[in-house]
Amino acid sequence: MTTIRDTDLIESVADALQFISYYHPMDYIRALGEAYEAEQSPAAKDAIAQILTNSRMCAEGHRPICQDTGIVTVFVRWGQECRLSGDRSLQEVVDEGVRRAYLHPENKLRASILADPAFTRRNTKDNTPSVLHVEMVPGNTVSVDVAAKGGGSENKSKFKMMNPSDSIVDWVLEMIPQMGAGWCPPGMLGIGIGGTAEKAMLLAKQSLMGAIDMGQLKARGPRNDVEALRIELMDKVNALGIGAQGLGGLSTVLDVKILDWPTHAASKPVAMIPNCAATRHAHFTLDGSGPVYLEAPKLEEWPKVDWTPDKAAIRVDLDTLTPEVVRSWKHGDRLLLNGKMLTGRDAAHKRIKDMLDAGQELPVDFRGRVIYYVGPVDPVGEEVVGPAGPTTATRMDKFTRMMLDQGLLAMVG
């Protein structure tokens, strides 16, 4: 009987979550580098260059690759010859690892988890609890996959209980344009087929734990129907031309993963979950000998991409911005913003609406201002602000007229 010390599991989970907060999986970096070389659209190529540049900076500085440091999902395959030491449940042990990772003083991660989700939506302050899936398997080791998934891509998840004769390809191609760029491509699609409704969703999420191998698959050719479907979906999704960050181009997805399970004769449940450009997952195995610490990738493995702002970009002084300047901007213009801007997302906009409905005076004057839909990571050291980036801005669309009526000039999404 192998004893897995609770402290070893806690330490390993905490290390893995810190690791994936600032290191992309190298299979993703290699695939994105290949997409960069192949890309023909200037806007999409520039977007990929920014993602690769940001990734390298985060790897060097050990700070998050995205301000949404995600909801933690953990898949555990527990060997039946193993026992967990201590008097805490597996959920409690895993959550302690999450807590330590997200409260790490040298690399604070954003706490995004809300208790009482339908009503008070109270932040738990430490990003717990995680979503834990456990499978008992033969053996004397414990295999763990840890992932941190942002809300933007998770919110674009799709499910359909199909008729047995319905086309999976047709459904996927119908859904992808509806998802737009809100899931932050280029990334991966995870597809689960069969089982029951909840099993299909679980398969879709599990499939995203696999390494990107579409290049190798295409090189050797498909060996079964599932692999042929992966290739077909990859090619047809990319042919839609959504591209990196929704800017057009060749690479909307870098891989399509599929897992399936036997299902009822009357059913064909299909789930699809996208993974964004902040692809974050890692694997480790515990054998009772101590905690596992993941090996850092070599910085030389990142593609050599020298990104600089477009010289033709329009420089904007936010402190002197006027409606006339805003009206002069054209679709497709690249703007370099300098000056002070406000930040706010769902909760802030809801509060503004509630105050206006109640006839209360707002604490902020929005006239002539710009708001950035962002929730930065807390700063550490000498940082003025922690890592920040745009959120899924369409969530705030229903507040647009209200905000413009307060004199707001622009939104950054």
* CA torsion angle 340 343 348 354 (round to 10): 30
Domain map (residue ranges) of the chain: 1-150+279-307, 152-277, 314-412
CATH of domain 152-277: 3.30.1330
Burial of 68 (0-12, 13-18, 19+ CB in 10 A): buried
What's the sign of the alpha-carbon dihedral 343, 348, 353, 357?
Answer: negative
pLDDT in tens, the chain (413 residues): 999 999 999 999 999 999 999 999 999 999 999 999 999 999 999 999 999 999 999 999 999 999 999 999 999 999 999 999 999 999 999 999 999 999 999 999 999 999 999 999 999 999 999 999 999 999 999 999 999 999 999 999 999 999 999 999 999 999 999 998 989 999 999 999 999 999 999 999 999 999 999 999 999 999 999 999 999 999 999 999 999 999 999 999 999 999 999 999 999 999 999 999 999 999 999 999 999 999 999 999 999 998 888 888 899 999 999 999 999 999 888 899 999 999 998 889 999 999 999 999 999 999 999 999 888 899 999 898 899 876 677 888 999 999 999 999 999 98
CA distance 72 to 32: 24
Contact status, residue 93 vs residue 9, Cβ threshold 8 Å: yes
Nearest to 97 by CA among 4, 7, 206, 5: 7
Tokens representing 358 are 């109640």
Residue 67 · residue 388 · CB < 8 Å:
yes
**CATH architecture of the domain formed by 314-412:** Alpha-Beta Barrel (3.20)
Task: Give CA–CA dist 304/46, Å, rounded.
Answer: 14
Q: Do domains 152-277 and 314-412 have the same CATH topology?
A: no
